[in-house]
Amino acid sequence: ILVTPLDVIKTRLQAQTNPFSKGKCFVYSNGLMDHICVCENGDSKAWYKKPGHFKGTLDAFVKIIQIEGIKSLWSGLPPTLIMALPTTVIYFTCYDQLSEALKSRLGKDDEHIPVLAGSLSRFGSVTVVSPLELIRTRMQYRSLSYNQLYTCITSKVATDGWFSLWRGWSSTVLRDVPFSAIYWYNYERFKKKMCKEVGAHEPTFLIAFTSGAASGSIAAVITLPFDVVKTHRQTQLWESETLKIPQRDCTSTWAAMRKIVAKNGITGLFAGIIPRLFKVAPACAIMISTYEYGKSFFSHLNEKMNQRP
């Protein structure tokens, strides 16, 4: 909710300098989740195609509120939340449960615990939610009733098999699993160090916020090449699945990386590093600090409830 306006403005600024052609698509991310938007020229409801003429970020912020209303700053949020909520619930629950299980086996201070728990929990959440991504992509493209959607999915399974529902899974895993491993390892280290320095037994909101932002930034930079590849493959998958455009080449992640380097050089793998940091750092900071605060709040509440006669 807090980070979405930043990306709405960024996408609108991009659209006015480099207009999207009709029928093409782009990947829209608000820092928490990403999804694909198709471009239709002349559609007044397409928030990313509305006339802009913005001079900069602040100018865009003011003009969008004045001309289109404040609600426009949260365009694209509902479909994001549909995916983000189940993903986040599975992800955080699995991380906590795996961490506790590994602590009893490997010891409380083992540095491998955040890496293992973060990787496995992310792997699980991506695998479970991956078919929903395909369903959501179909629903975004055209309005479908539940019966039409059911028919569409069953015919796809009949034609290409059950594994077709997990198309694009590998590139998502290659981005998200290393991100989670790096993120949780650094987060736990920063959190312990900061708690030690201030003499706190458990992380405060500020400690969790700072640790989350720092660890999220590090993970975002290291895994950016996989994010670039995932964006390329997502747009190709969209064109293949919904616009009936034959997929240009169904290459592996490594082959896609080599192609990007050959075309744009090594910097091509780090395209969009600044916008990604602006989204990921605050999103990670907000999510982990509110999560830690919520855990601490309900833990103390449960203790008080149990102490009552």
pTM of the model: 0.75
Q: Quick one: pLDDT band at residue 47, thresholds 50, 70, 90?
A: very low
Residue whose C-alpha is closest to residue 223's, from 189, 264, 268, 175: 175
pLDDT higher than 60, residue 263? yes
pLDDT higher than 80, residue 106? yes
* DSSP H or E run through 208: helix 205-222
Query: How distant is the alpha carbon of residue 88 from its chain centre?
Result: 10
Predicted local confidence at residue 129, as pLDDT: 81
Query: Between residues 56 and 123, which one has the greater pLDDT?
Result: 123
pLDDT digits (tens, 9 = 90+) for 110-152: 889 999 999 999 999 988 887 776 666 555 555 556 676 677 7
- For the segment 183-211, the average pLDDT, to the nearest whole number, is 93
**Can you count the helices (H) and strands (E) in the chain?**
10, 2
pLDDT higher than 70, residue 31? no
- For residue 2, with 0-12 CB atoms within 10 Å meaning exposed, 13-18 middle and 19 or more buried, which class applies? exposed
- For the segment 29-36, the average pLDDT, to the nearest whole number, is 56
pLDDT higher than 50, residue 42? no
- Over the chain, what is the mean pLDDT? 78
Predicted local confidence at residue 213, as pLDDT: 95
pLDDT higher than 70, residue 15? no
Q: Mind giving me the DSSP string for 114-181? A: HHHHHHHHHHHHHHHHHHHHHHHHHHHHS---HHHHHHHHHHHHHHH-GGGGGTTHHHHHHHHHHHHH
CB-based contact 51:45 (threshold 8 Å): no
Q: Token match 């404040």: residue?
A: 70
pLDDT higher than 80, residue 302? yes
Predicted local confidence at residue 21, as pLDDT: 61
pLDDT higher than 70, residue 11? no
Q: Quick one: pLDDT band at residue 98, thresholds 50, 70, 90?
A: very high
Predicted local confidence at residue 72, as pLDDT: 79
How far apart are the C-alpha atoms of 213 and 203, rounded to whole Å?
14
Predicted local confidence at residue 44, as pLDDT: 42
- Token pair for 290: 């509110």
Ranked by mean pLDDT, the top range of 92-101, 144-153, 234-243 is: 92-101
Ranked by mean pLDDT, the top range of 9-18, 22-31, 38-47, 221-230 is: 221-230
CB-based contact 246:142 (threshold 8 Å): no
Percentage with pLDDT > 70 across the chain: 71
**CA of 40: how far to CAs of 47, 181, 216, 218, 231, in Å?**
11, 39, 34, 36, 20
